[in-house]
Amino acid sequence: SSRSAAPLAAPESMSTPATSAHDGQSGTFPDLQKLLSRTGPMANVGNYGTIFDPPLPFEPSPEILSFMQQHARVLVVGAGGLGCELLKDLALSGFGKIDVIDMDTIDVSNLNRQFLFRKADVGRPKSTVAAEFIMKRVSGVTVEAHFCPIQDKPADWYRQFQVIVMGLDSIEARRWLNAMACSLVTFEVDMETGQRKPDLTSVIPLVDGGTEGFSGHVRVMYPCVSGCFECTLNLFPPQQAVPLCTIAETPRNAAHCILYAHLIEAPKQFGDEKQDKDDPAYQQWVFQRAEERAAQFNIPGVTLMHTQGVIKNIIPAIASTNAIVAAACANEVFKVLTNCAAYVNNNLMYIGGQGVYAPTFRYERSPECIVCGAGVQVETRVPGAVVSFCAHRQGAKQG
């Protein structure tokens, strides 16, 4: 499972075989060997943030790197701006078996920051191209691509991974994957207290990364043990809805003019024919109609890029933010799987708009969570009451 690394951003014309930058030793990762073969002051002392009580001490061993290269399987969900960085960082951090799943194909607008793709790749699956690129540039690593929605994979497929890293741009996709990870957890009953306790061997850690402009976050979650994604869903700001009457009668900004063209003018022009928001011709049409609308109300700021952002609900993506957040995610994956240092407890925020500020804080688990909470318990005092109720309901449906 030895491998070597070449610069991932090298020009397409380069044909020099990949070479190692690790002290001249091909694929041996001497720095990782030193880190994992001895203890130190930062080696999981007290393991701040651990789910284990008492904490599991770090036990140095050269076999840890072998485990990372040959046995540990890491799933990267999403092969976009954050996913490309994650794949590169994980492959260059000693992980030998990586899977990547993504349902999207490459668009020309991706090429400015999703550096694993080239112009010739436009239209191909992101996961497939990303896997090919990583395996070409980092010898010895195996990246298996899956071009499909995450919902298409069964529970047993997710159960094979040691850790799942999310590089998603959708709250709903995060919720689904969080629910899936929680459903994989099995429980044991404490004979003394009668309470259910999760079997930690069935817990698959989730590392979630997200970016928006110059800000981002990294979160480490242990399903049914620490606070899950659903536990903190109410912290997300609500979607900003704009009344249709405002758009139609008194637009106040450029976005209102764009939405007017997209939601009101387009149905008049195209009827019931559904328009592809990714179609450059349709984007240009909306842009021109929005410009005309803005001119009527003396509203500045309508541009083609703004038009694309409004109709596609695009979150601003900055390559440097993706790189920082992905590096932090890969670092947490490394710590979670090797136990060599304490992982973040349990959320890190990166705020880079006016400097560098990266506070950490802990999201608590919600006992009322519908995904990882205790759930609803029904207590009956009459034998057979539940069976009778279900039979009655079934008979009512048939009748």
350: pLDDT confidence band, cut at 50, 70 and 90? very high
Output 247 or 327, whichever has higher pLDDT.
327
| Six token digits for residue 121 | 């790749």
Specify the pairing of strand 97-102 against strand 142-147. Answer: parallel
Mean pLDDT, residues 50-55 taken together? 60
14: pLDDT confidence band, cut at 50, 70 and 90? very low
Non-local (6+) Cβ contacts of 298 within 8 A are none
Is residue 49 packed enough to be buried (19+ CB in 10 Å), middle (13-18) or exposed (0-12)? Answer: middle
Mean pLDDT, residues 356-373 taken together? 91
DSSP state at residue 238:
P
For residue 148, list its beta bridge partners.
none
17: pLDDT confidence band, cut at 50, 70 and 90? very low
Distance CA 79, CA 83 (A): 4
pLDDT the model gives residue 269: 93
pLDDT the model gives residue 53: 60
Look at the chain and count its residues. Answer: 399
Spot the catalytic one: 148, 224, 231, 245. 245
For residue 19, pLDDT over 50 is answered with no
What residue type is assigned to position 102 of the chain? D
Distance CA 28, CA 34 (A): 11
- Cβ-contact 41, 216 below 8 angstroms: no
- The least confident of 30-39, 85-94, 126-135 is 30-39
The domains found in the chain, sorted by start residue, are 30-237+317-361 (3.40.50.720), 244-311 (1.10.10.520)
pLDDT the model gives residue 399: 54
Phi, psi of 186 (to 5 degrees): -100, 160
Distance CA 329, CA 167 (A): 9
Strand spans (E) along the chain: 73-77, 97-102, 142-147, 163-166, 187-189, 196-198, 206-212, 215-221, 347-351, 360-361
pLDDT digit string, tens, across residues 274-330: 888 888 999 999 999 999 999 999 999 999 999 998 998 777 788 999 999 999 999
Distance CA 387, CA 112 (A): 61
For residue 115, pLDDT over 70 is answered with yes
For residue 241, pLDDT over 70 is answered with no
Mean pLDDT, residues 6-28 taken together? 41
Mean pLDDT, residues 235-251 taken together? 75
For residue 5, pLDDT over 80 is answered with no
For residue 367, pLDDT over 80 is answered with yes
For residue 167, pLDDT over 90 is answered with yes
Mean pLDDT, residues 37-54 taken together? 64
| Six token digits for residue 318 | 């900055």
DSSP state at residue 94:
T
For residue 42, pLDDT over 80 is answered with no
For residue 16, pLDDT over 60 is answered with no
| Six token digits for residue 64 | 């840890």
Does this model's pTM top 0.95? My answer is no
Distance CA 126, CA 9 (A): 17
pLDDT the model gives residue 392: 66
Rank 53-57, 99-103, 274-278, 361-365 by mean pLDDT and report only the highest.
99-103
Mean pLDDT, residues 153-176 taken together? 95
Tell me, yes or no, if 245 is annotated catalytic. yes
For residue 97, list its beta bridge partners.
73, 142
In the block, tokens 């620490």 appear at: 226
Q: Which contacts of 270-277 are long-range, i.e. CB under 8 A and separated by 24 or more positions?
A: 277/311, 277/312
- The least confident of 8-12, 97-101, 246-250, 324-328 is 8-12
For residue 59, pLDDT over 90 is answered with no
Output 321 or 45, whichever has higher pLDDT.
321
Mean pLDDT, the chain, as a whole number?
85
Output 43 or 377, whichever has higher pLDDT.
43
